[in-house]
Structure 1
Amino acid sequence: MDSSVLSYSLELVAGSGITLSVEQRVALQTAMVLLKKNYKFHRVLFWGKILGIKKDYFIAQGRGEDEMQGKKYLYSFNCMDWFLLPLATDSMIKEVTKAAKSRFIGDPSAMENEPCNSSSESDCSWFQATVNEESRLAVTIHQIDEEASVVPRGAFVKNPHGLVQINRSFGGLSHSEARRLDNFLHFSKAKNPKKTVREVGVVNETIDFLDVLMDDIPKGSWSLQLECASNVCVLRSLLWPGLTLFHVPMTPQHGYVYIGDGKKNLDLPFVL
């Protein structure tokens, strides 16, 4: 969610139970201005909040000239003091996948070990992966962004130099377009771009460079609803519960936020 319209955006997703206190909103808006200046970001967004047992992590996302590449993430416990998260590398992702199973605590230095099924302590000591919670936080945010960050079709364009930037001429989806899942795209590196639009024979190379949500597996992993007398489109991820997008049809207003425990719903394919 863009920091410049944070309070407005949070009101539009409040129906999902997503809310922040007045004090937190004020502190966040002040902090975003300072983060943008100090880190020389082009834009700063409130990414969301990951709930911990003792403390919650507030997450900010900084973007550069290219909106998709080189994103940086920072976390805070009080919306005033911020710490830069490390980049989620392939080796870090592998270690976290093995070791991290329980809920977040709210302590970046807390360590978590890979579970061992052997009854012998000596058998476990040599292969257990160990990661701290800060690394796990970086990986979790990376995975959620890769699998569930979403934007309306046309909200971003790829310019002739290959940079992904805000589409200043985007006026929003129509009410009929906002009812269809194929008008919402993953805001991450495409794995199978333009599949759906190519099937219907309508391809715009400038905006159709992202994956379409309706191609996601498992089918039915998104819940799309029009709320407030059809004035707001709300899209919720069932794979990553807590990820919510809003879009006001016929306007450029859109954004997504994640507020949850950082746990993926691995049972989803069996309940759909």
Structure 2
Amino acid sequence: MDARKLLVRMEIMKHTGNCLTTEECVILENSLVILQNENHFHNVYFWGKIYGTERNYYISFGYQKDALADITFYYSTDCVNWSILPLSTEIDSFSLNFCANPFTGDPAVLTDTQNILSSKETVGTMKEEDRLAATVSLITEETMIVPRGALFKNIKGVVIENENFRGLNKEQSKHLESYAHYRVPQNKWNTNLLKRADYSYEMDFLDTIDMDIPKDCWSLQFENRGKVIVIRNMFWMGMSFTHVIGTPEFYYNYSGNGKKNVDVPFML
């Protein structure tokens, strides 16, 4: 979500239930503009909030040139002071499976990792800052999405925001293939080419969410008399994507405890 218009866009986000207070919006807008200027970012976005028992983590990210490859994530516990989120490692991502305790809001605290066979047996510890980085990375990879055409790959191979994007129409917005993961593509380059009659190399380089397993992990719902489409992911409760149909307005937001719902396959 564009950090410069948080207060205005919260009116649209109210359809998802993931809302910030007016005070949070005002403080975040000001502090993120400063963050953007200090780091010479082309744009800065508010990613969402992860709840802690003592303090909450506010997450944002920005980029300088490439909207996909140059992303840097930041976190804050007061909406004012921002720290760079460390890069997540494979070990950190694996360790998430053994972290049962909730986040505290203290990045320096150590979290116990528990034996998968016995919740009472501790097998190690993990710094909460590293746990936060791994959680944000995983949620971003699995749930952060954009509508088709919102990002554009130019002739130099640099991914930029498409200034000519005018939004999806009502019919397009109904289909999962109209939405793509905001991440470096994991599927082969010709996956979309083989399944789309109107393939465009400049727009269809991302993995579409209709390829996700199980397909029913995504929920689409129209709000505001069909003018707004809201998409949620059942694995990560608290994730929401909102698009005002027929306009370039779309917003991603996560507000939750940072725990994955691993029971989804048994719920469908």
Residues 43-97 of structure 1, C-alpha deviation per residue, up to 9 Å, x if partnerless?
A: 1111100011111111111122101113111111221122221111233323x33
Shift of 1:259: 0.5
Instruction: Tell me the residue number matched to 1:22.
Output: 22
Instruction: Tell me the residue number matched to 1:224.
Output: 220
Instruction: Tell me the residue number matched to 1:133.
Output: 128
Task: Decide whether aligned partners of structure 1 residues 233 and 107 sit closer, same or farther in structure 2, where only a CA change above 3 A counts.
Answer: same
Instruction: Tell me the residue number matched to 1:4.
Output: 4
User: C-alpha root-mean-square deviation of aligned residues, in Å?
Assistant: 2.0
TM-score normalised to the size of structure 1? 0.92
After TM superposition, the runs of 4+ consecutive aligned structure 1 residues lying more than 3 A away are 116-119, 193-197
Matches within 5 A, 1:120-199: 128-192=123-187, 195=191, 198-199=194-195
Instruction: Tell me the residue number matched to 1:108.
Output: 107
Q: What is the CA–CA distance in structure 2 between the aligned matches of 1:264 and 1:118, rounded to whole Å?
A: 19
Shift of 1:188: 0.7
The answer as to 2:251 corresponding to 1:255 is yes
Instruction: Tell me the residue number matched to 1:213.
Output: 209
Greater CA drift, 210-219 or 9-18: 9-18
| 2:109 aligned partner, one-letter code | A
Q: What is the CA–CA distance in structure 2 between the aligned matches of 1:167 and 1:117, rounded to whole Å?
A: 45
Name the structure where strand makes up a greater proportion of residues: 2
Instruction: Tell me the residue number matched to 2:64.
Output: 64
Q: What is the CA–CA distance in structure 2 between the aligned matches of 1:268 and 1:42, rounded to whole Å?
A: 37
Gapped regions of structure 1 (runs ≥ 5): none
Shift of 1:151: 0.3
Q: What is the CA–CA distance in structure 2 between the aligned matches of 1:27 and 1:84, rounded to whole Å?
A: 19
* Residue aligned with 1:129, SS: strand
Greater CA drift, 11-20 or 144-153: 11-20
Query: Percentage identity across aligned positions?
Result: 36
The answer as to 2:234 corresponding to 1:238 is yes
Determine if contact 2:98/2:116 at 8 Å carries over to the other structure.
no
* Residue aligned with 1:31, SS: helix
Instruction: Tell me the residue number matched to 1:36.
Output: 36
Q: What is the CA–CA distance in structure 2 between the aligned matches of 1:93 and 1:20, rounded to whole Å?
A: 28
Greater CA drift, 251-260 or 98-107: 98-107
Determine if contact 1:104/1:261 at 8 Å carries over to the other structure.
yes
Determine if contact 1:99/1:112 at 8 Å carries over to the other structure.
no
Q: What is the CA–CA distance in structure 2 between the aligned matches of 1:75 and 1:59, rounded to whole Å?
A: 5
Shift of 1:14: 1.1
Q: What is the CA–CA distance in structure 2 between the aligned matches of 1:100 and 1:161, rounded to whole Å?
A: 42
Q: What is the CA–CA distance in structure 1 between the aligned matches of 2:131 and 2:77, rounded to whole Å?
A: 16
| 2:105 aligned partner, one-letter code | G
Residues 13-46 of structure 1, C-alpha deviation per residue, up to 9 Å, x if partnerless?
A: 2122211111111000000110001122111111
TM-score normalised to the size of structure 2? 0.93
Gapped regions of structure 2 (runs ≥ 5): none
| 2:150 aligned partner, one-letter code | A
